[in-house]
Chain A
């Protein structure tokens, strides 16, 4: 496929990559990592650069209108990272939550931890440092699942991000809250790279909040890649709260690998704001007896385009996966859900469940929902379902007949619809926070 030279961002990343090789910024990295960058960039180019709707995985998510703008690339001699803005930190604050908190601005952490001293057994590092550490280099080299345009672009050009590692057998009692702030005066492409390593029999609960500056700044394209490795018997509870504002285009790939008897819980909440959100959540069950829960809720308004692509890759027997994604679509927004469950021939006794339900409130909103099951084993239990509906007139009348105004009644019904997902959140403060965010974003006029 020939890359389209008319995309200014494509030119910029090609120049950026050429500069990278001469700037010496990767000088201290291992030769393997440098080779990974090179091959990832070649892969990005051979895939045709940025994806178009001709790519099956981008069929309903047309990036053309977002790729018209010009961006500069963060890092490699780009603009300085601004200090965290207190009001943005406040915006992401979760009331009453006892947690360790760190703040990343445009993917860069200043090393500060609030909420108490980190206990022994958890390690937090700037990726700018970790990528130059020969002992950690392996975590940045070629990982499974980098078949994506954006993942390869990140793998080629990333500079910073956060590296989190929990030692074997260590249970971190308090959750870790990571606040990702994105802010810039000019149009900027930011490519944070995050790595999570949860070693054998360890446990961690993490919440990642994404917030952004006001609309007066430049447009920020965030191309974030997270690699998660959950070792045998380890448990990782991973919550994403995407609340970025209108000037943000967020592409988030999360690539999870699970080993024997491990548990991975992912909650992805996408709330109004960012004009483009594309989540690629891929879980690869590389060993037997794993358990995976993926819960998602997207509430979209205005002109938002929010796309959730998930993959659950059952490679080994006796694994359990359960996925529930719910969408509430308002305004002229568009939602996309594509849930792929792949059960390999070897993966006997697999239990895999998937459900996607949508409440389309505005007549101008749309949803494209595509469950995709590919099963090559014969002794499995798998199910999937997808629904698209509107408010129940009967329920609405019942609430109104008790004196509850139409708008308030709709708000109650939206919260009720989201309840199946929000009730699954294991931390009460986070559940309350999410419910408040939902209420806050239910507009009074649904037209």
Chain B
């Protein structure tokens, strides 16, 4: 589904990603962990098409298409979804109209007509229930005055509504209390299927107790320095990141 080859990217002439290689197949959940400033969120931003990042080397294919050639909206319509670390508040744009517009654009891209008001309402109710999202929030202005947890749950609600192929969750667990974390994870687990895939970016192992990944990668200094299965996450929890930093440094000096 997603193939990243030797991806290098910079922001304001500062090299952030220094050669990422990663393959994600349908049905898989990949966790990307790593210390602060290792490039985790930058990778998410580059994949979603944030304009202040410049790709300097490498390529990314998404469902066989060159992802880096697409505008952010086309990436979304092709089925890529970024759950934001800091969802934006947009007063005056209602949550529901925003979703209606987004869904209509995604459907149009697939050659489908927009849902009529009744179908849309039914879908919205079904998904609200699925991810335990408060109906009151649906009719409010987009994220305006939402608590941190409500904003993150809104991201998962949007994810449920738009049914992307690949979802990237950028530190969705940050700022969540244990109950919110459980609700968000439950939602994601219900949405997991053999046709879609998830990349979960997180600093802590905690989220991975609820959303069990197939693969765990450790990002450090713009590169994936170690990959493994869910046991790697436990090891990191126990030992921290320092031993990996050491390893990475040794590797760099031997080269």
Contacts and interface: CB of A to CB of B under 8 A. Distances in A.
B222 interface: no
Interface-central residue, A395, A398, A419, by most chain B CB under 10 Å: A398
A398 B90 contact: yes
B98 A399 contact: yes
Nearest to B106: A403
A394 B73 contact: no
A401 interface: yes
A399 B72 CA distance: 9
A328 to B, nearest CB: 12
Contact of B98 (A392, A394, A402, A420): A402
A283 to B, nearest CB: 27
A393 B101 CA distance: 19
Contact of A416 (B93, B103, B105): B93
Nearest to B82: A401
A415 interface: yes
B72 A420 contact: no
Interface in A249-307: none
A419 B102 contact: no
B101 A406 contact: no
Interface in A391-432: 392-395, 397-406, 408-409, 412-413, 415-420
A405 B91 contact: no
Contact of B105 (A403, A413, A418): A403
A398 B144 CA distance: 14
A413 B93 contact: yes
Contact of B92 (A408, A409, A415): A415
A426 B90 CA distance: 23
A406 B70 CA distance: 13
Contacts, number: 76
B90 A404 contact: no
A413 B103 CA distance: 18
A413 B88 CA distance: 13
A160 B186 CA distance: 71
Nearest to A420: B92
B93 A404 contact: no
A413 to B, nearest CB: 7
A412 B105 CA distance: 14
B91 A406 contact: no
B92 A405 contact: no
A401 B76 contact: yes
Contact of A404 (B50, B75, B87, B101): B101
B93 A401 contact: no
Contacts of A400: 49, 71-73, 76
Interface string B21-55: 00000000000000000000000000011110000
B101 A401 contact: no
A417 B101 contact: no
Contacts of B90: 395, 398-399, 412-413, 416
A408 B72 contact: no
B93 to A, nearest CB: 5
A177 to B, nearest CB: 27
Interface residues of B, number: 30
Interface-central residue, A402, A404, A406, by most chain B CB under 10 Å: A402
B8 interface: no
Nearest to B164: A403
B215 interface: no
B98 A419 contact: no
B73 A412 contact: no
A403 B88 contact: no
B73 A406 contact: yes
A409 B73 CA distance: 10
B223 interface: no
Contacts of A419: 91-92
Contacts of A406: 71, 73
A403 B77 contact: yes
Interface in B186-213: none
Contacts of A404: 73, 98, 101-102, 105
Given A397-B50, A398-B87, A408-B105, A403 B73 contact: yes
A87 to B, nearest CB: 31
A319 to B, nearest CB: 29
Interface string B103-125: 10110010000000000000000
Interface in B153-208: 158, 162
A401 B44 CA distance: 12
A416 B84 CA distance: 21
Nearest to B76: A403
A282 B17 CA distance: 60
A379 to B, nearest CB: 34
A280 B109 CA distance: 48
Contacts of B73: 400-401, 403-406, 409
Nearest to A423: B92
B82 A416 contact: no
Contacts of B93: 399, 412-413, 415-416
Contacts of A394: 88
A399 B92 CA distance: 13
B81 to A, nearest CB: 8
B76 A402 contact: yes
Given A395-B88, A402-B158, A412 B101 contact: yes
B98 A401 contact: no
A402 B49 CA distance: 12
Given A395-B88, A416-B91, 19 more contacts: A392-B88, A393-B51, A398-B84, A399-B90, A399-B98, A400-B72, A400-B73, A402-B102, A402-B158, A403-B76, A403-B102, A403-B106, A404-B73, A404-B105, A405-B73, A408-B105, A412-B93, A416-B90, A420-B91
16 contacts: A395-B88, A397-B50, A400-B49, A400-B71, A402-B76, A402-B158, A403-B102, A404-B73, A404-B101, A406-B73, A412-B97, A412-B98, A413-B93, A415-B92, A417-B92, A418-B92
Q: Nearest 6 A-B pairs (CB), nearest first?
A: A416-B92, A419-B92, A403-B76, A402-B102, A400-B72, A398-B88
